[in-house]
Chain A
Amino acid sequence: AQSVTQLDSHVSVSEGTPVLLRCNYSSSYSPSLFWYVQHPNKGLQLLLKYTSAATLVKGINGFEAEFKKSETSFHLTKPSAHMSDAAEYFCVVSDRRNQFYFGTGTSLTVIP
C-alpha cells in the first residue's frame, strides 16, 4: 500500500530564508511522487514530480525536491522564501493505477 507522511502540519519561515517541507513515503514498489500547492481559495497546482528519472527534481517558482530511496523521503526545499509562497503544500504518491494518496498537508507561513 502507498502512503505519505508530512512531518510538519505548520512551518513558519522569514522572508528570504530557506524553506524545508518534509515528506516521507511508503510504497511497495518504485513510486511516483508529487508536490502540489494550494493557495487560499485556489485549486491544487502541481509544483513538481518525480517519476524515476533524476533524483533531484526542479519545479516551478524555485522549488525543488530530492528523492532519497534509502530514507524514503521526498522533501521540498527552496533557497529563499517569498511572501507569495505562503500556502498549503501537499506531498502525494501515486500507485500503479495512477490513484493519488495525499499527505495531510503543511501550511507554510512566511514572515515579512
Chain B
Amino acid sequence: EAGVTQFPSHSVIEKGQTVTLRCDPISGHDNLYWYRRVMGKEIKFLLHFVKESKQDESGMPNNRFLAERTGGTYSTLKVQPAELEDSGVYFCASSQVRGFSGNTIYFGEGSWLTVV
C-alpha cells in the first residue's frame, strides 16, 4: 500500500513567486492534514480536511496560503505570493478514522520549500 506522497520534494523560488504543493493521502483516508516546520521551530498544524471539507483551518498563517481538496482525494497548498518566512518543510498527513482521539496519523516525507 502506498503511503502519503508529496510533490515536489524540494522547491526553491524567489520572493513574490507562487508555489503549489501537492499531497496524495493514503487511499481511503478521509482525513488529510497539513503541517509545517519553519527553521528552528516546532512542527505546527496548518489545517485539516475531512474529505473535501475544511474541518479546521485555524493554523493557516495568513491569506497568502490557500489549501484545496477537490473531490476529497489529493490536496494542494498554494502559497501566493511567497515570502522569505515561508521557507520550511511542509508535511502532509492522513488518517482513516475521524472523531477518535489517539488515531494514528501517517505522514509524508515533506516538501522542502526555500524562498530566496
Asked whether, in the complex, the Cβ of B107 is within 8 Å of the Cβ of A94, the reply is: no
What residues of chain B lie closer than 8 Å to A43, measured between beta carbons? 3-4, 91, 107-110
Asked whether, in the complex, the Cβ of B101 is within 8 Å of the Cβ of A98, the reply is: yes
Is B104 an interface residue, CB under 8 A from the partner?
Answer: yes
- Interface residue count on the A side (C-beta < 8 Å): 25
B45 CB contact (under 8 Å) in A42, A90, A100, A105:
A100
What residues of chain B lie closer than 8 Å to A44, measured between beta carbons? 91, 93, 107, 110
**Contact bitstring B36-57, A, C-beta under 8 A = 1, else 0:** 0000011111001000000010
Asked whether, in the complex, the Cβ of B101 is within 8 Å of the Cβ of A95, the reply is: yes
**Contact bitstring A53-97, B, C-beta under 8 A = 1, else 0:** 000000000000000000000000000000000000010001111
Is B106 an interface residue, CB under 8 A from the partner?
Answer: yes
Asked whether, in the complex, the Cβ of A94 is within 8 Å of the Cβ of B42, the reply is: no
Q: In the complex, A93 Cα to B108 Cα: how many Å?
A: 19
Q: How far is the CB of B91 from chain A (nearest CB, A)?
A: 7
Is B61 an interface residue, CB under 8 A from the partner?
Answer: no
Q: In the complex, A42 Cα to B99 Cα: how many Å?
A: 28
A residues adjacent to B (C-beta < 8 A)? 32, 34, 36, 41-46, 49, 51-52, 90, 94-105
B residues adjacent to A (C-beta < 8 A)? 3-4, 31, 33, 35, 41-45, 48, 56, 91, 93, 95, 98-110
Q: 12 interchain pairs (CB within 8 A)?
A: A36-B107, A43-B91, A44-B91, A49-B104, A97-B56, A98-B95, A98-B102, A98-B103, A99-B45, A99-B48, A99-B56, A104-B41
